[in-house]
Structures are given as C-alpha cells and as structure tokens.
Amino acid sequence: MSFSTFGFHADILRGIKDLAYTRPTPVQISAIPPAMLGRDVLACAATGSGKTAAFLLPTIHRLMSHPGRGPRALVLTPTRELAAQIHQNLQELATHTRISGAAVFGGVAMGPQEHAFRTHVDILIATPGRLLDHLRNSYASFAGLEILILDEADRMLDMGFLPDIRRILRVLPAHRQTLFFSATMPPEIRHLTSELLKNPVTLQLERQSAPAVGITQAIYPVPAHLKTSLLLEMLRDEELVSVICFTRTKHRANRLADFLKRHNISCVPIHGNRSQAQRTAALAGFKSGQFRLLVATDIAARGIDISDVSHVINFDCPHLADDYIHRVGRTGRASATGDAFTLVSPEEESNVRVIERAIGKRLPRVTLPEFDYTRQSTEKLEVPLAQRIAAIRQRKAQEHVRRDQKAQRASGFQPRPHPESGFHRSGGNPSRTEVDGNRGGNQRYGSDRRGRSSRPAGGRHFPPASGESRHRRPMGR
C-alpha cells in the first residue's frame, strides 16, 4: 500500500515524499481513512508506531479543504518534548501547504504562544498545564476548533493531567472531530473515551504485549553496588554508539551522568528537573552524536523521537512491564534493529519475572567473563537519607542567615560587633564572608540529629528583623 491511495492533497504527498516515508505503517493504514472522513477515532498506538503522522496527515488534509479561523485543530500531549516533536513533524509534513502550527508548552515565554493564538494559527500542539494558563486570557479562544487530538492519553493520566484535560474540554466546541491515541487503555481512559468520542472507529484495542521485533534483549544480573562499574565495562564495546540509559530517579540520572563523565564517557542527563533549554540542548547533542549516552528518567524520555538509538540500557529495572516495553521500544524503531539490556540487582529479580510474564518469554541472562562480580565498589549513587537531610538542613540554615542579613540591611540597622569574632553579622564588611561561608547556619551553632538547633538561647547579638519569627523557626518540625 502507498500513501497515494489515501487521496491526500498533492502538497501533502510532496511533504511525505521529502520525509522518505515510502509505505504507511499499520496504525496509519487503519486510522487515516476514517479520520479523512471526519469520523472519531480511538487508536491504541505506542510511540514509534507512526501515530503522529496518523493523526497529523488527515488533519492537515481536512483543514486544507475549506477555510476557517484558527486554532482549528488542537493536539494535547503530555510533555514539552513531545509537543516540540509533533510540531516539528507538522512543519515537515505541511511544508508545501499553507497550514500553520505552533507549540504551546511551559518553561518558555508565553509571549510567542499568545501571538500564535492572536494570529489564528491552524494547529496548536499543547501540554495541558500551559494551555490552561493561556485559557485565563480572552485572546485564547477555541470558537473555530474543528478537530481535537489527544496524544498519549494514558501518559497524561499517569502525570495527573486528567483534571486539566477535563477543564480544557469544557471550553471546546462540542461539535468537532476527536482523534484519541493511547498506548494502553486503563479504566479511567476508557471512561474518558466514552464521554468524548461519538461512534468512534476503534483500532488495535489489544494491549501491546511485546516489544517491536528486531530487538535483542538481555538481563545482566549484578549486585546493586557494582552497576556503575558493569555499565562502564559494557560501554567498552564500541558498538554501543548511541545509548539511552534509564534510571529510576532524577538524582540517580544526575549522579550516573557525573560518574560517566568522570570516566570520559560523553553523556548528558535529561529529566524533569532540567530546564527546557537544558533538555533541548541535551536532545540536540545526543541526536548530533556529541553525546554517546543520554541518561534519562522514564517521564522525560517518553515519546522522544530519536531514530538512531543503537541500545537501550535499563540501569534500573522498571517495576512495570509496560514501562519496560515502552523503554525498549526506543530502540528498534522504524524497522531498525536494536539491543536492550537490563541491569538487574538481586532485589529487582521480582520485577524481571513480571516483565517476562508480560512479554511471554524468558530473557537470557548474560554475565561478562572479564568482569569481577565479587569486587567492592566505592561508587555510590544513593546518598544515605540522613546525609541528604543534614545537607538540606545546612543549606536552609545558611539561607536563613542570609535572609536575616538582607532584612537588616533593608531596615538600615547597624549591628554591634560580634562578641566572638569582632565582625558584624551584616553590612559591607568581612562579616558577610564569615557568615555566608562555612560558619553559617548549623555549622555555626550545631544541631542534633533531629535538626534541633543547639544555638544558645540568649545567643542573638542584634534585635530581630521583621519576618524574623518565620526565618527563625526551629528546623525539623
């Protein structure tokens, strides 16, 4: 089957040709014809299936067929990366048409996005939170909306966006076409579809139960404390040219990236604590080959379209089989082959059994003959809880001292000299260095294990500034 059989406008076919899409993917074959006819569509499709073109192509075609006042189509999607990616795909597919589009997501200025509303772009691709921010303003009107698309609806549910989506739905015209894409169909999503869709064409409703063919998967059993060393050993293999490495938490992603950098592996972390600019730079660097490794958390990496991933390494074994299938689906996309390796500590063995049950086969266990599985490791990715709490307390105590100083400076108060040091605790003299440095906060006064300050009761050397009680609240309560 070729794209010409769908009856697309010639300018759309030119865009498809530029992208070198030769044949439609299964989800495109099933979803495009009913969507072209204006029917609602409910499709179970995961990232990598070609779902983006499955909803963009009929949307572009339908909007080209008659005039209207934008935004005429709205794509709701869970993450900024996905929004940016869909927008890029739209620009490519619609490059020879007059259909315009804009991405609306958080972490960047509202101004250009407001401009997109005011200039009535045809297709808006938005994350729910930022879209709601715009909807508080009169310029954000969807009166001319013809098509609504929900992309990765199950992920939006996981991320807690369901209430936001319902709020958005209230301001959309009831008379519209709705295209609904979700990798899985949990009950809440099923419920939402029954409210939203009118007599939909339902596609591939069986759950995706196995990763794409062409992916070689293996389990690497290893004690938890040796995961970093084993990963280094694995990376000696030069075939691992572009690797996405998944960790359980953002902190582990950061620490693993630091560790790898110290061992001269070019890598970059990507997760929810990083700014939009940092994430964009990380993706661009990974795509261009500047970084060999992208160290990612699930949420950050979901849906990112990177075609040339040679390997996925699960540094931490996912708890859910769906997450595993999604992660390893990052490789082996668009018919390429890829490898997916999972490092599994004894504590994670039960997760492997869940995954194996879901994919219906036992995964091979691999050990590296040259790796010493009995050695000790000094590398720690987890900072013990007590140590983390102590660091937070110390930071907060230093912040309090700084705030006090600022308040005093603002009130013009000149403190008496500090009886121990002879320095003032505020003002433009050396006292600032003293207090802001290591002698600030709990280091200055000390604190017990529960964080209660051991500062002497009468230890104030100057009157409290305004707001003092707030800043001086004992810690650990």
Q: What are the residues binding ligand AMP (CB under 6 A)?
A: 21, 23-25, 28, 47-53, 305, 307, 333-334
Cα 50 from Cα 312, distance rounded (Å): 20
Q: 3-state class of 239 per DSSP? A: coil
Q: Shortest distance, CB of residue 398 to ligand AMP, whole angstroms?
A: 46
Q: Are 382 and 224 in contact (CB under 8 A)?
A: no
Tokens of 156: 């939006």
Q: Shortest distance, CB of residue 310 to ligand AMP, whole angstroms?
A: 16
Q: Shortest distance, CB of residue 20 to ligand AMP, whole angstroms?
A: 7
CB nearer to ligand AMP: give 299 or 390.
299
Residue nearest ligand AMP by beta-carbon distance? 52
H-helix segments, 136-249 = 153-158, 162-170, 187-196, 227-234
DSSP for residue 5? G
CB nearer to ligand AMP: give 87 or 393.
87
Q: Shortest distance, CB of residue 89 to ligand AMP, whole angstroms?
A: 6
Cα 403 from Cα 121, distance rounded (Å): 46
Cα 188 from Cα 277, distance rounded (Å): 33
CB nearer to ligand AMP: give 87 or 400.
87
CB nearer to ligand AMP: give 88 or 202.
88
Residue type, 403: R
Cα 297 from Cα 331, distance rounded (Å): 16
CB nearer to ligand AMP: give 169 or 336.
336
Q: Shortest distance, CB of residue 275 to ligand AMP, whole angstroms?
A: 24
CB nearer to ligand AMP: give 10 or 457.
10
Indicate the angle between helix axes 250-262 and 227-234, nearest 10 degrees: 50
Q: Shortest distance, CB of residue 101 to ligand AMP, whole angstroms?
A: 15
Tokens of 292: 């060999």
Q: Shortest distance, CB of residue 467 to ligand AMP, whole angstroms?
A: 51
Element holding 84 (H helix, E strand): helix 80-93
CB nearer to ligand AMP: give 51 or 444.
51
Tokens of 256: 């693993």
DSSP letter string, 374-425: T------SSPPHHHHHHHHHHHHHHHHHHHHHHHHHHHT--PPPPTTTS--S
Cα 123 from Cα 312, distance rounded (Å): 33
Element holding 201 (H helix, E strand): strand 201-203
Q: Shortest distance, CB of residue 315 to ligand AMP, whole angstroms?
A: 24
For the beta carbon of residue 236, count every other beta carbon within 10 angstroms.
9
Q: Shortest distance, CB of residue 334 to ligand AMP, whole angstroms?
A: 5
Please give the distance of CA 81 from its chain centroid, rounded to a whole number.
7
Residue type, 85: Q
DSSP letter string, 425-467: SSSSSTHHHHHHTTTSHHHHH-B-TT--B---TT---SPPPTT
Q: Shortest distance, CB of residue 133 to ligand AMP, whole angstroms?
A: 26
Q: Tell me how far CA of residue 358 lies from CA of 26, 103, 332, 351, 353, in angstroms.
A: 23, 36, 19, 11, 9
CB nearer to ligand AMP: give 200 or 329.
329
Q: Shortest distance, CB of residue 82 to ligand AMP, whole angstroms?
A: 9
